[in-house]
Amino acid sequence: MWLNNSSIGRKLVMSVTGLALILFLTFHMAMNLVALFSVEGYNMVCEFLGANWYAVVATMGLAALFVIHIVYAFWLTLQNYKARGNDRYAVTDRPKSVEWSSQNMLVLGVIVLLGIGLHLVHFWSKMMLVELTNGKEFVINGNAISPTDGAALIRYTFSQWYNVVLYLIWIAAIWFHLNHGFWSAFQTIGWNNKVWQSRLQTISLWYTTILCLGFAAVVILFGAGIL
């Protein structure tokens, strides 16, 4: 299969899964923003995306996207490391037009992955997982939190200052990762030329900045106790 045994095919898999994940993040961010305006509205979204069959199927699809993206990332990086040869340069210099993030995508990706692990423990394990396994509800100060009461979980998680710091670091890593990944995905698909190069990089910058500001807003406003 050419998606596995050609360099461009493997890159295409990275590109398409990456774009799908960006799309997921966009929906995720939009739903988070609901929490800023209406706690009831946010909990309605939580209920809608609880252990209903469509939400479970979508979650499994999403997990598959993540796994494929990560497996291919390690595979490609390993091949690229080998292609570099045994001896390394003694002196290296990064030209101005080369983004720092573009040369550190795997490191950024690992930080993002660690953040996802933390995030699943904080939210998913106390929401969808509880519903799926009919497990114990999460208890804060003696009060059981309903698996669909996402707003209470947000408030609890970000009442701890270190979670605010960790999430902001995570969001920054996502920003760097997507800033390169977004335009790079289009380049790999082949939708790029001399004119679109700067356009795509500008769209990339704006899109990821708005996306990450949306995520950060929820963390900061709940963390500061304003909401």
93 contributes a contact to other proteins by CB under 8 A: yes
Considering beta carbons, is residue 15 or 43 the nearer one to other proteins? 15
143 contributes a contact to other proteins by CB under 8 A: no
What's the distance, CA 197 to chain centroid? 24
Which region, judged by CB under 8 A, interacts with other proteins, from 61-69, 98-106, 148-156, 169-177? Answer: 98-106
11 contributes a contact to other proteins by CB under 8 A: yes
d(CA 193, CA 186): 10
CA atoms within 13 A on the CB side of 17: 20
Q: Looking at 26, 59, 102, 125, which residue binds other proteins (CB under 8 A)?
A: 102
What's the distance, CA 13 to chain centroid? 17
80 contributes a contact to other proteins by CB under 8 A: yes
Nearest to 42 by CA among 180, 218, 176: 218
Which region, judged by CB under 8 A, interacts with other proteins, from 31-39, 161-169, 179-187, 216-224? Answer: 179-187
199 contributes a contact to other proteins by CB under 8 A: no
DSSP 91-127: S----TTS-TGGG-HHHHHHHHHHHHHHHHHHTGGGT
Q: Which amino acid is at 208?
A: T
Nearest to 71 by CA among 119, 23, 106: 106
The least distance separating other proteins from the CB of residue 47, rounded to whole angstroms, comes to 41
Considering beta carbons, is residue 5 or 141 the nearer one to other proteins? 5
84 contributes a contact to other proteins by CB under 8 A: yes
Q: Which residues bind other proteins (CB under 8 A)?
A: 2, 5-12, 76, 79-80, 82-99, 102-103, 105, 180, 183-184, 187-194, 197
